């Protein structure tokens, strides 16, 4: 009898409907869309998240008006840090706080809304959204660096070109191309630094590498297309970072420098000298084919504003990043990405096949900060892969946070000192917030088409579309990855 | 002691329960949703100041008769979503209110309807008290919004400049130009719909 009851309970629990995002993925598209629409209308901590999911589903189904409305709601909420939510944000589980999204989710929202506005001919506001996407990428941590969101810069360039602001278009495209270089060279130069032995105590040499890597984003901002010059500028920046941060209170420093003593800074600066020469040599040995490939890509992108195509499609492909909890208490947010890179996008235009390389990637944006690979995030702070000893310290701090909630003596002592601190400590749980916009794609491709006015059949990764090239001006449109792939007829809204 | 701790926890949890209600607010007051971009009171303040200055500008006061001004949509070069129609509407209304006959604002939104009505009158299908020519613009009033933004993840700073220019419709000469600026620091910018 007990077994029968248990099986009945299991059967009923199995009949619970899937969450709309999952239901959509298994083919229940229309019902999932309707349920998601109902969720998005409810005010609450997750309205922005539900609105983004609705936007993805609506756009995939061809309802671009509904997608735009949902994105406007989401974007308004994701950027609002009102006092109303402030106190609540200090306590309670991360997953109960108002959802604002990670930087890659913010820039996805801005980009999608910008593209829908662009398709409608509202170039001014589309440009504003592309700018916001770039800013949301650049300003996501306490570190200051230029954004490497290539798609944001390229689309800004297209919008400026439509407005006949050629100088601004060239500047924006230039920054996009710099970002392409910075991405590739950051990883290469960072790896090269690991291979340089250096002179001095092991920890001091490690610290010197930390300083140089911290200066690398600024170095590439100065000279993205010249590795030797970038390394020279990085070294200069690293020295400045050391001199500034050694005089700051520990809490105001970059996370990897917070535990450094004055002696650590001094010895790291000395050890930097031994690394600098070797790093410059390594920079000079960047394979010419890498620089040639990047230069060829730059020429293709520059052509898009020098000889504007009549149609520009931004095509999504693949499944985007997934958030998971890790660490002893689930306190670390890790981003899991697809193991299989998408590779070039196969297209067919007028019967002729071709291939387009990826322009950008949400998976890349989710797992990097200033082009540096991130291992995980702790309360929004990046734990970089190339600072493993700093990682150990940050994990120890996470342990301290959790330990505090179990230590009644410590909790009571804190209460005697400050009731507010105690309440916060007693109610804070360290689990990372993994609520996510799981319908984002992996890769973004820029497909410029120089088409005569009228209808054209275009194949994109196996899907067929009728693209209506305008008699004048330029059509810009987003082609979603999510099934069934958006409107089958792509034209100005 | 433990009772106090529990009561404190309940108090905090209670603070998390809020009921939202729609209320009317003064457009010039600080809103519940605030960011570092342009709020309704900022747009109204800029439009008020601009219209007062323009009406008193030498290019207007020295004009023989009342110059005719066509108000163009404001260009957005900032990072904020701006409804250009609201901005243009506000500027037009305030100019008409503050002008007191010193200038005339052309309504270019219903040009097609005006041309159709003129055709009806001239063809005799509609009667007309008087027939006259359509008013041409003496000046174009153009505007542009630009912003310079910086953010470090926790704080956001936005410097916004709104520039207006009055350009002679015959010669292209700028007869009047002024910029209005504001800088705000605080929470990330709110998107304005």
For residue range B8-30, list pLDDT tens digits in order: 555 554 444 444 456 666 665 55
Q: Is the pLDDT of residue A413 over 90?
A: no
Q: Is the pLDDT of residue A125 over 50?
A: yes
Whole-number percent of chain A with pLDDT over 70: 80
Q: Is the pLDDT of residue A425 over 50?
A: no
Note the pLDDT of residue A386: 57
Q: Which residue would you say has higher pLDDT here, A58 or A255?
A: A58
Q: Which residue in the set A124, A135, A423 is minimally distant from B151, CB to CB?
A: A135
CB contact under 8 A, B188 and A80: yes
Note the pLDDT of residue A160: 96
Q: Which residue in the set B1, B18, B153 is minimally distant from A141, CB to CB?
A: B153
Closest CA to B87 of B50, B112, B137: B50
Beta-strand relationship, B174-186 and B156-168:
antiparallel
| CB contacts < 8 A (A, B) | 92
Taking a contact as any Cβ pair under 8 Å apart, which residues of chain B between 80 and 109 contact chain A?
Answer: 80-82, 84
Q: Which residues of B touch A80 (CB under 8 A)?
A: 33, 35, 187-188, 190
Which residues in A have their CB inside 8 Å of a CB on B?
Answer: 43, 72, 75-76, 79-82, 84, 87-88, 91-92, 96, 124-125, 127-129, 131-132, 135-136, 138-142, 144, 163, 380, 412, 415, 419, 422-423, 426-427
CB contact under 8 A, B188 and A124: no
Distance from A405 to chain B by nearest Cα, in Å? Answer: 13
Note the pLDDT of residue B128: 81
Note the pLDDT of residue A430: 66
Tokens at B120, concatenated: 């009806």
Note the pLDDT of residue A99: 87
For the segment A370-399, the average pLDDT, to the nearest whole number, is 57
Question: pLDDT digit string (tens) for A134-192?
Answer: 888 765 444 445 678 999 999 999 999 999 999 999 999 999 999 999 988 988 998 89
Q: Which residue in the set B12, B75, B156 is minimally distant from A423, CB to CB?
A: B12
Question: pLDDT digit string (tens) for A273-313?
Answer: 889 989 999 999 999 999 999 999 999 999 999 999 999 99
Distance from A47 to chain B by nearest Cα, in Å? Answer: 14
**Best residue in B10, B79, B150 to probe A by mutation, most A CBs within 10 Å?**
B79
Note the pLDDT of residue A456: 96
Can you point out the beta strands (E) in A151-249? none
Distance from A117 to chain B by nearest Cα, in Å? Answer: 10
Question: pLDDT digit string (tens) for A30-70?
Answer: 999 999 999 999 888 899 999 999 999 999 999 999 999 99
Average pLDDT, whole number, for chain A?
Answer: 84
Domains detected in chain B: 36-125+136-186 (3.40.50)
Q: How far is CA A157 from CA A108, A167, A277, A283, B85, in A?
A: 18, 9, 38, 30, 25
Q: Judge whether B33 is closer than 8 Å to chain A, CB to CB.
A: yes
Note the pLDDT of residue A402: 43
Q: Is the pLDDT of residue A11 over 90?
A: no
Note the pLDDT of residue A101: 87
Distance from B24 to chain A by nearest Cα, in Å? Answer: 18
| Beta pairing partners, A368 | A373
| Beta pairing partners, A323 | A335
Q: Is the pLDDT of residue A388 over 50?
A: no
CB contact under 8 A, B193 and A131: no
| pLDDT band with cut points at 50, 70 and 90 for residue A421 | very low
Taking a contact as any Cβ pair under 8 Å apart, which residues of chain B between 135 and 164 contact chain A?
Answer: 149-154, 156
Q: Which residues of B touch A135 (CB under 8 A)?
A: 79, 149, 151
Note the pLDDT of residue A97: 78
CA angle A179, B36, A56 (to 5 degrees): 60
CB atoms within 10 A of CB A359: 21
Question: pLDDT digit string (tens) for B39-54?
Answer: 677 888 888 889 889 9
Distance from A133 to chain B by nearest Cα, in Å? Answer: 9
Q: Which residue would you say has higher pLDDT here, A416 or B74?
A: B74
CB contact under 8 A, A127 and B77: yes
| pLDDT band with cut points at 50, 70 and 90 for residue B192 | very low
CB atoms within 10 A of CB A85: 15
Minimum Cα–Cα distance from A124: chain B residue = B76
Question: pLDDT digit string (tens) for A333-376?
Answer: 888 887 777 789 999 998 999 999 999 999 989 888 766 667 67
Closest CA to A59 of A29, A39, A87: A29
**Best residue in A81, A87, A107, A162 to probe B by mutation, most B CBs within 10 Å?**
A81
For the segment A465-488, the average pLDDT, to the nearest whole number, is 96
Could you write out the DSSP letters of every residue in B88-154?
Answer: HHHHHHHHHHHHTTS-EEE--TTHHHHHHHHHHHHTTSS--S---PPPPPSEEEEEEEEEEEEE-SS
For the segment A4-18, the average pLDDT, to the nearest whole number, is 66
Q: Is the pLDDT of residue A381 over 60?
A: yes
Q: Which residues of B touch A423 (CB under 8 A)?
A: 8-9, 12
Q: Which residues contact A245 (CB under 8 A, 6 or more apart)?
A: A253, A254, A257, A260, A265
Q: Which residues of B touch A422 (CB under 8 A)?
A: 5, 8
Distance CA A268, CA A242 (A): 9
Exposure string for A203-225, b = 16+ CB within 10 A, e = fewer? ebbbbbbbbbbbbbbbbbbebbb
Minimum Cα–Cα distance from A100: chain B residue = B188
Distance CA A248, CA A262 (A): 11
Q: Which residue in the set A72, A82, A129 is minimally distant from B187, CB to CB?
A: A82
This model of the complex carries an ipTM of: 0.72
Exposure string for B83-92, b = 16+ CB within 10 A, e = fewer? ebeebbebbb
Distance from B88 to chain A by nearest Cα, in Å? Answer: 15
CB atoms within 10 A of CB A315: 26
Of these ranges, A97-101, A129-133, A257-261, the one predicted with the greatest mean pLDDT is A129-133
CB contact under 8 A, A131 and B154: no
Note the pLDDT of residue A415: 47
Q: Which residue would you say has higher pLDDT here, B11 or A228?
A: A228
Distance CA A458, CA A253 (A): 52
Q: Judge whether B10 is closer than 8 Å to chain A, CB to CB.
A: no
- pTM (two decimals): 0.81
Domain ranges of chain A: 143-308
Closest CA to A95 of A367, A376, A427, A429: A429
Note the pLDDT of residue A43: 86
Question: pLDDT digit string (tens) for B114-133?
Answer: 888 888 888 888 888 877 88
Distance from B141 to chain A by nearest Cα, in Å? Answer: 18
Q: Which residues of A touch B154 (CB under 8 A)?
A: 142
Distance CA A19, CA A11 (A): 18
């Amino acid at each position: 009898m007990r077994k029968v009851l248990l099986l009945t309970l299991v059967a009923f629990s199995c009949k619970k409907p899937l969450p709309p995002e999952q239901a959509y993925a298994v083919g229940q598209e229309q019902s999932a869309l309707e349920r998601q629409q109902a969720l998005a209308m409810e005010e609450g901590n997750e309205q922005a998240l539900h609105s983004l999911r609705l936007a993805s589903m609506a756009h995939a189904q061809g309802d671009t008006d509904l997608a735009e409305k949902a994105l406007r709601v989401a974007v308004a909420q994701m950027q609002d840090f009102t006092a109303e939510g402030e106190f609540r944000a200090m306590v309670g589980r991360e997953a109960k706080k108002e959802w604002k999204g990670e930087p890659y989710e913010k820039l996805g929202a801005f980009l999608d809304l910008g593209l829908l506005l662009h398709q409608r001919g509202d170039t001014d506001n589309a440009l504003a959204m592309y700018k916001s996407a770039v800013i949301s990428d650049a300003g996501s941590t306490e570190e200051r660096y230029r954004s490497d969101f290539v798609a944001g810069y390229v689309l800004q360039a297209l919008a400026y070109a439509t407005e006949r602001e050629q100088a601004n278009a060239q500047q924006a495209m230039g920054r996009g191309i710099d970002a392409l270089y910075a991405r590739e060279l950051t990883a290469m130069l960072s790896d090269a630094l690991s291979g340089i032995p250096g002179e001095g105590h092991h920890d001091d040499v490690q610290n010197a590498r930390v300083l140089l890597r911290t200066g690398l984003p600024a170095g590439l901002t100065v000279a993205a297309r010249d590795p030797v010059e970038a390394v020279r500028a990085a070294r200069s920046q690293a020295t400045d970072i050391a001199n500034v941060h050694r005089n700051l209170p520990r809490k105001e420093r970059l996370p990897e420098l917070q535990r450094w003593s004055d002696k650590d800074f001094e010895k790291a600066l000395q050890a930097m000298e031994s690394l600098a020469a070797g790093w410059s040599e390594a920079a000079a040995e960047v394979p010419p084919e890498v620089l040639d490939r990047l230069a060829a890509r730059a020429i293709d992108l520059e052509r898009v504003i020098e000889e504007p195509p009549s149609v520009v499609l931004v095509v999504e492909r693949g499944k985007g990043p997934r958030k998971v909890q890790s660490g002893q208490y689930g306190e670390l947010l890790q981003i899991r990405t697809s193991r299989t890179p998408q590779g070039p996008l196969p297209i067919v235009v007028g019967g002729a096949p071709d291939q387009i390389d990826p322009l950008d990637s949400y998976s890349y944006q989710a797992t990097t900060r200033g082009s540096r690979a991130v291992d995980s995030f702790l309360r929004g702070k990046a734990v970089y892969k190339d600072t493993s000893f700093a990682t150990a310290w940050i994990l120890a701090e996470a342990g301290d946070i959790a330990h505090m909630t179990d230590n009644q003596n410590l909790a009571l002592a804190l209460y005697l000192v400050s009731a507010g601190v105690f309440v916060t400590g007693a109610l804070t749980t360290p689990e990372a917030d993994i609520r996510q916009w799981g319908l984002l794609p992996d890769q973004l491709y820029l497909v410029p088409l120089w088409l005569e006015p009228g209808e054209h059949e275009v194949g994109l990764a196996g899907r067929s579309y009728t693209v209506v090239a305008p008699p004048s001006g330029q059509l810009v449109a987003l082609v979603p990855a999510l099934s069934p792939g958006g409107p089958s007829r792509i034209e100005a809204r | 002691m433990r009772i106090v701790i529990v009561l404190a926890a309940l108090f905090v949890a209670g603070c998390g329960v809020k009921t939202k209600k729609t209320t009317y607010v003064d457009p010039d007051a600080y809103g519940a949703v605030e960011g570092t971009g342009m709020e309704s009171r900022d747009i109204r303040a800029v439009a008020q100041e601009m219209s007062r200055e323009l009406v008193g500008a030498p290019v207007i006061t020295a004009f023989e008769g009342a110059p005719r001004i066509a108000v163009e949509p404001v260009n957005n070069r900032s990072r904020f979503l701006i409804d250009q129609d609201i901005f243009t509407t506000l500027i037009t209304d305030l100019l008409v209110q503050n002008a007191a006959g010193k200038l005339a604002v052309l309504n270019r939104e219903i040009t097609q309807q005006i041309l159709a009505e003129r055709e009806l009158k001239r063809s005799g299908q509609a009667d007309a008290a008087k027939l006259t020519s359509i008013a041409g613009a003496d000046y174009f009033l153009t505007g542009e919004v630009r912003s310079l933004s910086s953010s470090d993840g926790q704080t956001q700073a936005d410097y916004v400049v709104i520039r207006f220019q009055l350009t002679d419709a015959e010669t292209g000469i700028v007869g009047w130009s002024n910029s209005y600026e504001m800088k705000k620091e605080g929470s990330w910018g709110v998107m304005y719909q």
